[in-house]
Amino acid sequence: MGRRDQYRAELRGFDPARWPDFLREHSGLPGPRANIALAEAVADEGELTSFDRLISTDDEYLVFCGVLGLGRLLATATDARTRADVEARLRDHATDARWRVREAVALALQRLGDADLPRLLELATAWAARPHPLLRRAVVAGVCEPRLLTAPDAAARAVALCERATTGLAGLSAEQRRDDGVRALRQALGYCWSVAVAADPAAGLPRFQALAAVDDRDVAWIVRENRKKKRLARLL
């Protein structure tokens, strides 16, 4: 039994109202890494009321767990209204000032992708059409996950999302680029391109290499960072 399954068994052993204390005790924080296995177990075992309870706190790790749980609800929802409501909530959380909450959204989107990849790609395309840099950050971080990009059409969509986000960033003024959200998007693009291209090099590599001709400091940084990634370096 892995850690995630062990945590699931423990969580089932007591009332969800007591989960916050358990999560704080086992969060791994303060420390270098939050306990992702525990957060995944919460998402597996919780329901909307327990997720709402966690999200309503001011504890970043508890909010992380609750937002990740919304990803499971989005993945399993069968009616359009529930899907729309949960998607709207995740979209709001994607622009949260706290980076762990934003990361929870990316992981939540991956949960959707595991269950229904076409739905994730449709959602990602819609979010990327919005100008907010943190929405674009959420979709490139969520979609650019190797296990989701085994099919050529998914890899192509990932490249297109990276391309759109990069083009949007390049069109911003110097003042706009000082925004924390834009910086977070740039950071994500610094590795997401390599994931998308490695999934289908024949299609993705020419589009990545075309970035080298763009006369833009941030685009040049994105190219350099991705070239450092082993998955891409071996293709160059």
Give the per-residue pLDDT at 67: 99
How far is 122 from 77, CA to CA, in rounded Å? 16
Sign of CA dihedral 30, 229, 224, 162: negative
Give the per-residue pLDDT at 1: 74
**What are the structural domain ranges in the chain?**
1-115, 150-236
Could you tell me the two tokens for 51? Answer: 């997720």
- Amino acid symbol at 92: D
Of 98, 72, 225, the residue nearest 162 (C-alpha): 225
State if pTM tops 0.85: yes
Taking each continuous run of H as one helix and of E as one strand, the counts in the chain are: 14, 0
Give the 3-state secondary structure of residue 210: helix
* Ordered per-residue pLDDT tens for the chain, 236 residues: 799 999 999 999 999 999 999 999 999 999 889 999 999 999 999 999 999 999 999 999 999 999 999 999 999 999 999 999 999 999 999 999 999 999 999 999 999 999 999 999 999 999 999 999 999 999 999 999 999 999 999 999 999 999 999 999 999 999 999 999 999 999 999 999 999 999 999 999 999 999 999 999 999 999 999 999 999 999 98
Backbone angles phi, psi at 178, to 5 degrees: -80, -10
Of 160, 116, 123, 154, the residue nearest 138 (C-alpha): 123
